[in-house]
Amino acid sequence: MARVFLLAAALLLASAGQTEARVTPGVHSDRIVVPRAERSRPAVAPGKPGSLLVVPGRTRVSGPGRLFRFAVEVEGGLPVDRSEFAAQVVDVLSHPRSWGGRGAVAFQRVRFGPVDFRITLASPTLTDDLCAPLPTKGIYSCAQAGRAVLNASRWLRGAAAYGHRLHRYRVYMVNHEVGHVLGRGHAFCPAAGAPAPVMVQQTKGVAPCRPNPWPLAWERDLPVRREGRG
């Protein structure tokens, strides 16, 4: 339990408007800052740190396209309400501006049975383990081996490109990593002042584009594959 409270209470130096955290290669911490609004009603995911539990629940199919079934997993001990996390993921993927908005793909969250991919919220250390050999360095997320792995530190404190708009950054996280699962590679800023493609690595910065958490029309029109990386 002491680990849980340390996990929830630290990293207070990293506000949403700051630049990337300073990380020594190969050395990082699992201490995670919880935004003030969420600290007012603390929750802790069940299970032990380092273990993943599937969040109970099932949703309807979100659209008419090719169906992708997914499960939501949360590492034990993280300072999050796992049901709220799963609901936010579903809200993003079922939104008409997400990957299914043009009818090419559809999503359904399930708990049991075969899945096409998993969306996983993990501590920095477990993120690095699940993403290897990709160099997430305790501060990035990835898509790897059938998982869209979301770094809990990022989920809870955001990134400089989004400032205090944490909800929009979370939308970006889900769309970006699921985009990799669907076979999308990284994109680049097309022009100064333009909305950034969602497959830009916006966690690292978005200038001279503008932050944008939703896939652009041309991104959604690309062919769908089962899985990507990065």
The C-alpha atoms of residue 200 and residue 182 are separated, in whole angstroms, by 15
Cite the DSSP H helix spans in the chain: 2-9, 36-39, 82-93, 124-131, 152-157, 166-181, 217-220
Pure H helices in 123-225: 124-131, 152-157, 166-181, 217-220
With tokens 């916006």, the residue in question is: 202
* Beta strand spans in the chain (E): 52-54, 66-75, 105-109, 117-122, 142-144, 147-151
State residue 7's pLDDT score.
43
> How many other C-beta atoms can be found within 10 angstroms of the C-beta atom of residue 57?
15
Note whether residue 40 is domain-resident: yes
Report, as an integer, the average pLDDT of 98-117.
93
Burial class (CB in 10 A: 0-12, 13-18, 19+), 205: middle
Q: Could you give the number of structural domains in the chain?
A: 1
Q: Is 1 exposed, middle or buried (CB count within 10 Å of its CB: 0-12, 13-18, 19+)? A: exposed
Asked if the structure places residue 184 within a domain, the reply is: yes
Q: Considering the domain boundaries, does residue 142 fall inside one?
A: yes
Q: How confident is the model over 79-103, as a mean pLDDT? A: 95
Residue 58 belongs to what domain range? 28-220
Taking the C-alpha atoms of residue 42 and residue 13, their distance in angstroms, rounded to an integer, is 19
Q: Which residue has the higher pLDDT, 103 or 157?
A: 157
Q: What angle do CA 140, 164, 53 make, to 5 degrees?
A: 45
Please give the mean pLDDT across all residues of the chain: 85
86 within domain boundaries: yes
Mean pLDDT of 181-210: 97
142-144 and 117-122 beta bridge pairing? unpaired
Tell me, yes or no, whether 21 lies in a domain.
no
Instruction: Provide the token pair at 134.
Output: 């990709």
Per-residue pLDDT at 5: 39
Question: What single-letter DSSP state applies at residue 224?
Answer: P
Residue 208: strand, helix, or coil: coil
Whether 168 is covered by a domain: the verdict is yes
> What pTM, to 2 d.p., does this model score?
0.82
What pLDDT digit, counting tens, does each position of 141-195 carry? 999 999 999 999 999 999 999 999 999 999 999 999 999 999 999 999 999 999 9
What distances in angstroms separate CA 19 from CA 9, 111, 163, one per listed residue?
20, 37, 10
Residue 17 has pLDDT above 80, yes or no: no
Tens of pLDDT along 59-74?
999 988 999 999 999 9
CATH of the domain at 66: 3.40.390.10
